[in-house]
Structure 1
Amino acid sequence: MALFALLGACHPGPAAAVTALGLAHAAASGRRPRECALVGAAVLAGQLSVGWCNDAVDARRDVAAGRRDKPVVRGAVSAGTVRAAAATALAACVPLSLAAGRGGALHLTGVAAAWAYDLGVKSTPFSWVPYAVGFGGLPVFTGRAGPRTATAAALLGVGAHLADVLPDLDGDRATGVRGLPHRWGARRTRAAIPLPLIAAAALLRPERAMAVTAVTTAAALAGGRVPKAPFAAAVLTAALLITPRR
C-alpha cells in the first residue's frame, strides 16, 4: 500500500507521458535498443525525481489547500519518504543520463531546471522557463535533434506548463503560488495554451499544424469543464510532432 502511495506522489501521468515520448523519439531517431533503454531509464528517473520533489516541497501547501488527491495529504506516505525517494531518483538519473551518451549533460540541465521550478521558480513570472529548458533539451538527448526540433520542443514545454497548472490555479493562488499562469488567470491561460503548441507544429511539422490547431483549440474550449483536457492535448500534440515522416 505504501509503495502505491509513493508512486502516486510522483505525478505518474506526466512522468509516464514524458518518458513515453522520450522513448518514442529515441526509437524514431534510429537509436539502438540498448541506447533506447538507457534513455528511457534516464528520463524516467529524472521525471520521478521531479515529481517526488514537487510533492515533498508542496506538502504544507497541499495540506492547506485540502488536496486529498495527494498521498502525503491523506497520510498514506510521509513527506520525508517522498523526499528521500526524490533524492534517490536524482542520484540514479545522473549516471543513467551520462551513460546514454551525447546529450546526457543537457538532460541533467533540464532536470536541474525542473527542480528549480519545484523549489521556487514556480512562484515567479518566469515559471515557464524551466519547462522550456527541460523540454527543449529532451529531444537533443533522446534523439540528437537539431536546433529546429529543440525550439519546437521548448514551445511544447511552455504549452505543457500552462496546461499542467490550469486545473490547480485557484488552490495554488490560495497558498501563495504566483507563477505566470496564476498572474494571468484561468481564462487567459486557457486562451494562451494553443499558441505555443500551434507554433511548435508550424515550425516542425507544418503539414500537421491544422490538426494541432483543431485539437488544442477544442481542448482549450473544453478546459473550463474538463480541466485536464488541455494537458492531454499537449501530450497528443507532442506525439503528432515526433511521429516520423513516411
Structure 2
Amino acid sequence: MSAAAVHPGTWLRGLAQSCHPLPSLAVTAVAVLLGLGNGLDGPRTTLLGAAVLTGQLSIGWSNDWIDAGRDRATGRTDKPAATGRIPVRAVALAATAASVATIVLSLLLGWFAGVVLLLSVAGGWAYNLGLKGTVWSGAAYLFAFGALPIGVYAATPGEPWPPWWVPVVSALLGFGAHFANVLPDLRADAETGVRGLPHRLGPRAGVIVMAASLATASVVLGLSPAGASALYSTVVVTTGVALAAATTVAAIRAPDSAIAFRLTVAIALLDVVLLIAAA
C-alpha cells in the first residue's frame, strides 16, 4: 500500500497500535509514581513522564519497524506495518522522532539522570536489534528495567541512589515481563527463526522461570525495605511464593493453559504495587 493511499486517521490509529501502548503506559506510570513518591515536583514529574514515555514509544515503534517483514511472514494481523495499514517508513520515522525527543527530554533532567534513562532505552533497542533472537534476550530486560529506577531516583532532588533492592526488584519484574511478552508468540517466532531464551526453554519451563523471577521479586520486596514489619514481610513473601508454586503446578499440568499466565500476572501486579508503595 502506498503512502498516498493511506488516510491520515488510519496513520494515527496504526501508529497508536504499533507503539505497544499498554506496556509503554505501564512503564511510564510506574516511573512517574516512583518519582512522585521520592519528592519530584510537578514540572519535573511531567518532564520525567515525557522522557520515559517517548523512550518507550521509540522502543515500541522500533520493534514493529524492525520486525515488519517477520510479522508479515507469520500473518500478524495485529501489526499495522505488517498488514500495510500504514507504511513501514512511517513507523520508522515515528521511532526516530521519539528517539530524538527522549534524548532531549532525558538530558533536561540532568546529565546523570538523562544518561541512565537513555541507557534503559538502549537496552530496549538492543533487544529489538538482535538480542531477542539469542540466549541473552532476557539480559536486555534485566538491564533496561534495572536502570530505569536508578534514572528516576537520579532525577529527584540531590540525585540520590536508590536502595539496592529497588533496581533488583525492577530488573526481576522486567525479566518476568520478557517471558510474559514472548510466550504467546513462541510458535510464530519459531517460523521465522527467532530463538531467544524463552524459546529455548519452551512454554512449560518458560512459565516456571517467569513465576520464579516474580516470586524472587516478592521475597526481596518482603524482606529488604527498611522498617518493614514482620507481618508485612511474612504476608508478602508467603503470597508471592504461594502464587509462584501454584503457577508452577499449573504450568506442569497444562503448559498451554491460560491459568498459569494469569497467576503470573497476579504476582506481577502485587510486586509492582508493593514496589511503588515501598520505594
**How high is the TM-score relative to the length of structure 1?**
0.91
**In the alignment, does 2:203 pair up with 1:200?**
no
Distance 1:218 1:74, change over 3 A: farther
How far off is 1:231 after superposition? Answer: 6.8
| Gap regions ≥5 residues in structure 2 | 1-9, 155-161, 224-232
How many pairs were matched up? 246
| Gap regions ≥5 residues in structure 1 | none
- Mean CA deviation greater in 47-56 or 8-17: 8-17
**In the alignment, does 2:197 pair up with 1:173?**
no
Q: Deviations over 1:102-154 (max 9, x none)?
A: 42211111111110110101000000111011100111112342322112211
What is the 5 A alignment of 1:143-222? 143-144=153-154, 145-206=162-223, 207=233, 208-215=236-243, 221=250
Q: Deviations over 1:61-91 (max 9, x none)?
A: 1011111111112221111100110010000
Task: Give the match's secondary structure for 2:137.
Answer: coil
How far off is 1:228 after superposition? Answer: 6.2
What is the 5 A alignment of 1:103-182? 103-144=113-154, 145-182=162-199
Instruction: State the AA in 1 paired with 2:257.
Output: R
What is the 5 A alignment of 1:1-246? 1-101=10-110, 102-144=112-154, 145-206=162-223, 207=233, 208-215=236-243, 221=250, 224-226=256-258, 229=262, 232-233=265-266, 235-245=268-278
The 1-side partners of 2:34 and 2:42 are apart by 12
The 1-side partners of 2:36 and 2:106 are apart by 17
The 1-side partners of 2:264 and 2:92 are apart by 26
The 1-side partners of 2:245 and 2:89 are apart by 41
The 1-side partners of 2:278 and 2:194 are apart by 41
Instruction: State the AA in 2 paired with 1:65.
Output: T
For the pair shown, the structure with the greater C-alpha radius of gyration is 2
**How high is the TM-score relative to the length of structure 2?**
0.81
Q: Which fold has the larger relative contact order, with Cα–Cα distance below 8 Å and residues 6 or more apart in sequence?
A: 1
- Mean CA deviation greater in 3-12 or 199-208: 199-208
Task: Give the match's secondary structure for 2:40.
Answer: coil
Distance 1:164 1:214, change over 3 A: farther
